[in-house]
Structure 1
Amino acid sequence: MSTENSVQGSSHLASPQVLRKVDELREKNVGQHVPLPQLVVVGDQSSGKSSLLENLTKIPFPRNVELCTRYATQITSRRDSKTEVVVNIIPGPHASDDHRRRLEGYCPEGLSPADFRDQFPKILNEVNIRMGIRTDTSSTDGTVFSEDILKIEISGSNEDYLTLIDVPGIFRTPTEGVTTKADVSLVQKMVRTYIKDSRTVILAVLPSNVDPATQEILDLAQDFDSDGERTLGVLTKPDLVTEYSAQVAVCNVILGKRKPLKLGYHVVRNRGADNDDDFDFDSSEHETFKTEPWSSLSKDRVGVKALKTRLGVILGLITRREFPKLRSDIRNQLTDCRRQLGDLGQARQSEQEQRLFLNRLSQQFQNLVHSALNGHYSNHHAFDKSDQLRLITRVVNITESFGSDFAESSLPTQFEKLLPKISDDGEESDFGEFLRDSLLNGLITDMDVEHPQDGIMDWIEDLYQRPCGIDLGTWGGAILASAFKEQSSKWGRLTLGYLSQVICSIHKFLKAALESLCTDPRLRDDLWSFIADDILKGYRAAIRHAIFLLSIERDKRPYTLKHYFNENLQKSLGNRIADMLEDNVKKELQWVNDVRSVTASKSNLDSVKEDIHDILHSYYNVARKRFVDSVYHQAVDHYLLTGPGSPLFMFDQEWVIKLEPEQLQAIAGESPVVSEKSQFLQRKIRDLGSAMHI
C-alpha cells in the first residue's frame, strides 16, 4: 500500500502517546545522537514559509520581505496539563567555547504560551543578539546566518502534538553588502542536513503563482527522497493567482496531474505581511476556497486546519513505522558507546583516580605474570591469543636446548670419546626483531659457536711442552688450570647466548602483557618508558651474575668435592687399559703379562698426556654440569624470573605507590582528547539509557 493511501486510511496513527514518546526522546537530547521522526519546512526565500509556520503554531514569525529566518528553529507543541514555554539555544557544531557558554546561558523563565506569543518579537531579538546575528542589514557587525538552533517547546491543555523545524529559505544570488556566496552555500548545506534522514518528512513550501516544475526545492528533496514517500508539497499564496486558468493549473498540481508526489500537495492561504492582528484570517481563507475552481478540491487538501491534521497523521505514520528501527539504533549505539568507554578505561583525572587505575593495572599485570610463571594458561584469555605470553614454556625449552648444546658443543677440542653433532633448536630466529630494540642493544649475544675439533692429544702435548708446563718430567695443577680454561673458552658465548634468548622471551612477554591489558597506546608507551630503566637493570644484573659464575669456574684452580669425580677418573683409567688389552688378550692366563707389557712400553710423554686428558675430562664433566645448573638457578631463575629484582616484578603495586604526583600525571593522566571523549560518551550513554527506558 502506498504512503498516500496509508495516510488517508490511518488517522488513528496520529496517536498522542506515540508522538509524546518522540517528544520525550527530544527532551533527553536523543535527537543529537539518533535521527527522530520530524517535519522540516523548506522552501525558497519569500515562498511563504514564515507565514505558514505562524498559521500552524500561532507564533507570530516576522513576515516582512527582508531576510526572516537566519537559523534553524525547532518548534515542539504538546498537549499537557502543565502550561509552560521553554526557550533555549543549541550551539552549532563549530561553536567556540565562549560562544557555547553565551548561548547555553539563555533560558527565559516563567513564560506561558500566551505571554510567549506576545513577547516573541522581543525574544527573537534577544536570540539574534546572543547568536551574533546581524539585525541591521546595513551593518557589517555579526553574521547573517548561524548554525545554532533556536528550540521552542510549548506545552498546554489547548496545544496539539506537533514538531516542526524551520530552516532558512534557499536563495541563489548574494545581495551586495548583506549576503555572500558563503552564505548561499551555508544555507544549502543546512537544508540538505535536515532533509537527508529517512525519518524526516519534507514540507516543500511552494508559492502557487510559480510553476512547481521549476522549483529547485523539489529537485533537492528528490536527491534524498527519490521515491517521494516523505515529501509533501505545500502551495501558498493562492490569493495571488488571479486568472481562472492559472487557478485550474494549481488545482491540477494538487490533484496529482502535474509533478506528482506520493504524499501529494496541500494548498493554504497565509496571513500576508500587510495583514494586522485584527485581520480575520480564518474567514478569509474559508471564502477563498469556497469559490471555483478551489471548491472542487477535496476538503482534506485545502486550508490550514486540514493541513495540521494531515501533518499529525503523517508524523504518526512515520513514527510508528520507524519505532522498531529507532529502538534498534538506540540499543546498538548504547552498546557501542559502552564499549568505547570501556576501551578508554576508568576515569583518571584526579591523583586518586590515577593511582587507583595504575594499581588495578599492576595487579592485573602481576596476576598474568604469576600465571605465566606457573604455566596456568587457562587463567586468562590472553594466553590463547599470544604464544609470547606462555613464558615458562619458552624458558624451559630454551634451557633444555642450552643444556644439550652445552654438553655437545662447549668444547673447542673434543675429548677422545667423540660426541654427537649439535642440534638446531631454532630459537635464534627470534633475535632479529630484538636486536633492533634500543633497550636490548648491547645485551643480546648470538650463541653460534664452532663445532669441537679433533686432536685432543696433540693439543695436550703442545700445552705440556710450553715452558710454563715443564716441571722435570712431571706436571702440576697449573697445567690443569690452563687446560681447563682453554677447554672452557666457549662457555662465555654459549652462556650469554642462552641469557639473550631468555631475556628476549621475557622482553616479548612484558610487551605482550602490557598490550593485552592496556589498549591505550599512549598510556602503554608512557608506562613502558617509566619502567624501561628498571627492566634494563634486571637484565644487566642477570648478565653480570652469569659473568661472575664464569669467572668462578674458569679463573679459579680446578677443584671439586663431588665424589663422582674420582669415580669417573678411575673409570677412565680402566676403560683406557681395557682398550689397550682388547686386541692383545689371547688366552685367559696371558692377561697379566699383557698388562705389564702395555704399561711398560708407554713413554713418559704418553703417560702424562693420558693423565692430563683423563683428569681434565673427568673434571670438565663435573664443572660443566655444575655451571649449567648454576646459570639456570641463579642468573635465570633468581635474577630474571622469580627473584625480587626480576624484570617481571618491576611493575607492581609497590612501584605505583612510590610514584610522585607529577609522575602519576605523566603516566596515567588523561589527555585532553581522551577526557573530552570520555565526557561525551558518558553524556551520550545517559541520553541513550533514558531513551531505552522511554
Structure 2
Amino acid sequence: MATVSLDPEAIEQLSGERKTLLDAIDGLRKHGIGRFVDLPQIIVVGDQSSGKSSVLEAISRVRFPVKDGVCTRFATELVLRTNPQTSIHVQVQPTSVSADVSYAFDKTSFDKDDLPRITEEAKARLLKDSTSFSEDVLRIEICSPDVPHLTLVDLPGFYHSEDEDQPADGRDIVDRLVETYMARKNSIILAIVSARNQVVMQKVLSKVKGHDKKLERTLGIITKPDLLTPGSPDEDKFIKLAKNQEQKHHFALGWHVLRNRSEAEVSLSSEERDSKEQEFFESGIWSAIPSSNRGIDMLRKKLANILLDHIRKNLDTLIQDIENNVKSRRKTLERLGTPRSSPPQLRAHLDKIASQFQLLSLRAIEGNYSDEFFGSLYPAASSNSTDDRVRKLRALVRDLNRTFAYVLATKGSRRIIIPDHSDGDSAFDKSYELQQTSLPSFLQGLEAQYPFKTPKEVTRDAIQAELEPLSSANQGTEFPGTTNDFLAVKLFQDQSRPWEAIARFHIDLLLRIVKSFTEKLLAYITGPDEKTYSAILVNIVDPFFEKRTLKLNRKLQELLCHFQTGYPQPADAEFRAALAKRRQKHLTAEILQNLVTSHPELFTDKGKRQLAGLASSGRKSEFGVDSLIDKSETYYELSLRNFTDNVIILAVENCLVKDLPTILTTSAVSQMKDDMLMKLAAESTDIQVERVELDTECEALQKGLDLCKTYRGRNSTVLPTIPPQLIDDPPATTPRVKVEDPTDGLKQELPLLSALQAPYLEL
C-alpha cells in the first residue's frame, strides 16, 4: 500500500472542527463535479519570487520547490482528499483536447520532500521545444484518512522584464493562465506581496482588482518582512498594509504576515521554520500586528474559516450551477435519443424527429411561437436581419410579402407617367407621395435587399408624342379619331416588364428563407447528432427544395403568361369605374375651359390666364392617344393588384410555405426501407461515446447535487404576502376597477388588489 508522509496536526488545523461541509465539497470532487463546475479552492498568486511556493509549503507542509528566480513554470494543483484508502496520483493534465493525455507519473509512495524532484521531472514533460512556460497542469492528488479537503494551486508568478529565460510570449502565457484561475468566482485568492519590493511595483494587486472588483474573496499575504530595514519608511508602509489601513488595498478578508524560509534555511524542518517565524513576530515592530494576522498557525485556522464561510455563502449558487449542468446534459441526451442499431430502433428515433419537425414547422407557419426554438420576444440583433428573424417564419414571410408588394408598386413599372402641369397640391401628387412613404421604417431594411431602382419619370406629353406616330402605324378598321385598343395593351405590357424580375427575386429569397428555417429547425431537433442532421439535409431536405424551385418557376411563368401575352380580361364594372375616375380630371379641365368661354364673369383675370395656359399646353391627338394612356394605366392598376396577390397566395403560400410540414413526416418514416433508415438515423461512433460520457456526467452531477442538498437541508416554503397598506390605503397609481356586490347589486370602485381578494365580487 502507498504511504503518505504528511503532518496530520498541520492538516487538521486546515479542517477545523466543522468537517461536514468540507466533506461535501470533497465528495463533489470525488464524483468529478470539478470538471463542470467551479469548486472552492485556494489559489496562490503573486509576482515573480514573491514567496508563493513557500506559502503553500508552510500551509500544507508539503515541500514545494523554493529558490530565487523563476521556479514555477506551470500550474501545480495539490489536491488533498479524505479517503479511507491511501493513494497517490501524480499526472500531467494537458489543456488541449488533442494533446497526449496518457502520460502520468508512476508513483507508489510520496514523501513531503519529494515534490521538488517531481516538479523537475514534470518540466521535462511540460516544457517542450524550448518553451519557457506551459499552460498544462501538474496535478498531484493525495488521498488519505488524515488529509483535509482542499485544493491548493501554485501558479507562475507575474514578471515585468524579459530575458533569455523569460521571454515576452511567456509573459502572455503566465497572465492568461493565472487570470483563468483568478476569474473563477469560487476561488479564494491568496495575493502574495513581497516586502522586498515596493507595493506599487507589484503587478498582482492590479490583477486582483480586475477579477475581484469588490475585494471580497482575496486575502493579502505579506512575505519576507524580515528583509525590511527596521525603522525605514518601507517598513512603516508594510505595517500599515498589514493592518489593512491602505484604502487602495483594503481587503474584506484582511492581510496576513508570514516569515518564510530563506534560501539558506531550506534544510530546516517545518517545526524549526515555525519556531523561527514565531520568534521573529514576538519581537520588534511586527509584534504590534494582532496575533490573528501573523504566523502560519493562525493562517491555517484562518483559511479553514474563510474557506468554510466561502463555501456556505456560495452553496446555493453551486447547487444552481450543478442543476443547470444536469439540465443541459439531460436535454442533450434527450436529443441524442436512445441507443439505436436495429431497424425498429432507427425507425423509432427518426419517427421522433419527424414528429417534432411536423409539430414545430406547423406552429411556425401558424405563427405560434411558444416553443423555445423560436426565441424570446426581443431579438438578439437587428430585426431587419432575415437570418436573425428566420425562426419566426410566418412573421418574416408576411413582412417580406408586404415589402414585395411595396417594391412592385413603386418600382414595378418601366416608367412613371406624371402630369405635365401640377402645382404640388394636386391629388395625383399627394397620392404618389403617399405611395412612396407607405412602407414603415422597421421594414426598410428588408426593402433594401431588393436590388431594383426607382423607375424614370416621364411626362404625359412625352408619352403622347411617342404614341402618336405609333397609332398611325398601327391603324386598323376603326373610325378616324378613335383608338386602336391593341396599342393600349402593348403599352401595358411594356410598362409591366419589371414584374418578372421582381417576382422571381422575391420567390428566390423566400426559398432561401424557408430552407434556412428548415435547416435551423432540424439542427435544433437533432442536437449534437451531426451525422443524422447532415443525412436528412442531403437525402430529404435538398431534394424537396430542388423540386419546389422547379414548381415555383413553372407557377411564376403561369402567372405571368396572361399579362405578357394574353388578352385583357378585367372585370367590366370595376374597369369602367376606375377608367371614369381617371378621366374625370381631364373632363374637369375641359368643363372649366367651356365655362370661361360662355361665362367669363365667373372667373378672375388670373384664373382666365391659368386656364388659357392649360388649354394651350394640351396636345390635341388625331388618334385619341389620351384615351390609350388612360386605358393602359387603368388596366395596369387593376392587374398589379391581381398579380401581387397571385404571387403571394398561389406561388409562395400554395407551392412552398403550406407544404413545409410535409418535408419529413411520420407516415413517410413508417414506409422507409431499412437501407434508408440506416443512411438517415444510424449513429456515429462519436455519438455513442458522447452518450456514454453524458450518462456518466449526469450520474456524477446528480450525486453531487444530492450531496449538496443534503448538507443544505430543507427550508420552509415562504409565500409572498400583500402589504396591508396596499389594500387599505393604495397609492395613487394603483389601478382601480368597478365591481358589483351580488348581495345588494351595488357597484363600487376598489383598488385592483382589493377586488382580486374579494371572492364574492364579480369583475
TM-score by length of structure 2 reads 0.50
Distance 1:528 1:68, change over 3 A: same
What is aligned with 1:56? 59
Mapped contact 2:540–2:663 kept (Cα < 8 A): no
> How far is the alpha carbon of 1:256 from its aligned partner?
2.1
Stretches of structure 2 that go unaligned for 5 or more consecutive residues are 1-13, 362-370, 374-390, 395-512, 527-532, 552-658, 708-763
Letter in 2 for 1:59: V
Cα distance in structure 2, aligned partners of 1:652 and 1:316 = 60
Query: Of residues 659, 663, 666 in structure 1, which corresponds to 2:675?
Result: 659
SS at match of 1:26: helix
State the 1:340 CA deviation.
Answer: 3.4
Structure 1: distance between partners of 2:315 and 2:693: 25
In the alignment, does 2:250 pair up with 1:260? yes
The answer for the alignment partner of 1:593 in structure 2 is none
- 1:686 to 1:304, Cα distance in 2 relative to 1, 3 A: same
Following the alignment from structure 1 to structure 2, what is the Cα–Cα distance between the partners of residues 68 and 77?
Answer: 23
Aligned equivalents of 1:206 and 1:182: distance in 2? Answer: 24
Pairwise CA RMSD: 4.8
Alpha-carbon distance between aligned partners in 2 of 1:649 and 1:289, rounded to the nearest angstrom: 80
Match of 2:119 among 105, 109, 124: 124
- Aligned positions of 1:59-138 closer than 5 A: 59-92=62-95, 95-97=96-98, 99=99, 102-111=100-109, 115-131=110-126, 133=127
- Secondary structure at the aligned position of 2:112 is classed as helix
Q: Is the 8 A contact 1:13 1:317 kept in 2?
A: no
2:227 aligned partner: 240
Match of 1:175 among 163, 181, 200: 163
Structure-1 separation of matches of 2:546 and 2:108: 65
Please give the residue correspondences for 1:447-526 in structure 2 after superposition, counting only pairs within 5 Å. Answer: 519-520=524-525, 522-523=533-534, 524-526=536-538
**Partner residue of 2:28?**
25
User: Do structure 1's residue 336 and structure 2's residue 346 form an aligned pair?
Assistant: no
Question: 1:18 offset after TM fit, Å?
Answer: 0.9
Partner of residue 308, structure 1 = 300
- How far is the alpha carbon of 1:146 from its aligned partner? 1.5
Distance 1:340 1:151 in 2: 30
Residue 540 of structure 2 is aligned to residue 528 of structure 1? yes
1:441-497 CA-to-partner distances (Å, cap 9, x unmatched) read: xxxxxxxxxxxxxxxxxxxxxxxxxxxxxxxxxxxxxxxxxxxxxxxxxxxxxxxxx
Q: Distance in 1 between matches of 2:16 and 2:101?
A: 37
Deviations 1:600-631 (A, max 9, x none): xxxxxxxxxxxxxxxxxxxxxxxxxxxxxxxx
- On the 8 A contact 1:362/1:651 being kept in 2, the answer is no
Alignment of 1:139-150 (within 5 A): 141-150=129-138
Residues 275/349 of structure 1: CA separation in 2 closer, same or farther (3 Å cut): farther
Distance 2:665 2:27 in 1: 54
> Shift in Å at residue 194 of structure 1?
1.1
Structure 2 counterparts to residues 7-18 of structure 1, below 5 A: 15-18=18-21
Cα distance in structure 2, aligned partners of 1:650 and 1:297: 77
TM-aligned CA deviation for residue 226 of structure 1: 2.2
Deviation per CA, 1:365-386: give whole Å up to 9, x if none: 89999xxxxxxxxxx999xx99
1:40-439 aligned at under 5 Å gives the runs 40-92=43-95, 95-97=96-98, 99=99, 102-111=100-109, 115-131=110-126, 133=127, 141-176=129-164, 178-245=165-232, 246-258=234-246, 259-278=249-268, 280-346=272-338, 354=346, 357-358=349-350, 361=353
CA distance in 2, matches of 1:159, 1:277: 24
The correspondence of residues 606-621 of structure 1 with structure 2, limited to 5 A, is none
Gaps in structure 1 of 5+ consecutive residues: 1-10, 135-140, 370-379, 389-507, 540-640
SS, match of residue 185 in structure 2: coil
Q: What is the Cα deviation at residue 684 of structure 1?
A: 4.1
Does structure 1 retain, via aligned residues, the 8 Å contact 2:354–2:665? no
Q: Give runs of aligned pairs for residues 547-626 of structure 1, distance below 5 A.
A: none
Note the alpha carbon deviations across 1:329-361, whole angstroms, 9 max, x for none: 211232133223434545568988656533655
Equivalent position SS for 2:219: strand
Deviations 1:53-73 (CA, angstroms, capped at 9, x unpaired): 111122222112232111112
Could you tell me which residue of structure 2 aligns to residue 564 of structure 1? none
CA contact (8 A) 1:267 1:302 kept: yes
Q: Count the aligned residue pairs.
A: 443
The 3 A distance-change label for structure 1 pair 648 and 282 is: closer
SS at match of 1:54: helix
Q: What one-letter code is carried by the residue in structure 2 that aligns with 1:200? A: S
Instruction: Identify if the C-alpha distance between structure 1 residues 339 and 59 changes in structure 2 by more than 3 Å, giving closer, same or farther.
Output: same
Moved more, 36-45 or 255-264: 255-264
SS of aligned partner of 2:166: coil
What are the Cα deviations for residues 573-605 of structure 1, in whole angstroms up to 9, with x where unaligned? xxxxxxxxxxxxxxxxxxxxxxxxxxxxxxxxx
Task: Report the Cα offset of residue 202 of structure 1.
Answer: 1.2
Which amino acid in 1 is paired with 2:279? E
- Structure-2 change in CA distance of 1:121 and 1:650 (3 Å): closer
CA apart distance, 1:225: 1.7
Between the aligned partners of 1:89 and 1:350, the Cα distance in structure 2 is 41
* CA offsets 1:147-174 (integer angstroms, 9 cap, x no match): 2122222233443343222211001222
Q: Contact 1:25–1:31 at 8 Å: present in 2 too? A: yes
Range that drifts further, 211-220 or 286-295:
211-220
2:293–2:299 Cα contact (<8 Å) kept: yes
| Residue type of the alignment partner of 1:273 | E
Q: Which moved more, 1:318-327 or 1:61-70?
A: 61-70
Larger Rg: 1
1:311 counterpart SS class = helix
Identity over aligned pairs, percent: 28
> Cα gap change, 1:84/1:510 in structure 2, threshold over 3 Å: closer, same or farther?
closer
1:271 to partner: Cα distance: 1.6
Confirm or deny: 8 A CA contact 2:346 2:682 kept in the other structure: yes
Shift of 1:674: 6.9
Deviation of 1:206 (Å): 0.7
8 Å Cα contact 1:368-1:513 kept in structure 2: no
Q: What amino acid is the match of 2:538?
A: D
User: Would the alpha carbon gap of residues 277 and 527 (structure 1) be closer, same or farther in structure 2, given more than 3 Å must change?
Assistant: same
> Does the aligned pair in 2 maintain the 1:363–1:653 contact within 8 Å?
no
SS of match in other structure, 1:242: coil
Could you say which residue in structure 2 is the equivalent of 1:688? 701
Structure-2 residue corresponding to 1:668: 681
Distance 1:534 1:284, change over 3 A: closer
Deviation at 1:692, TM superposition (A): 1.2
SS in 2 for 1:42: strand
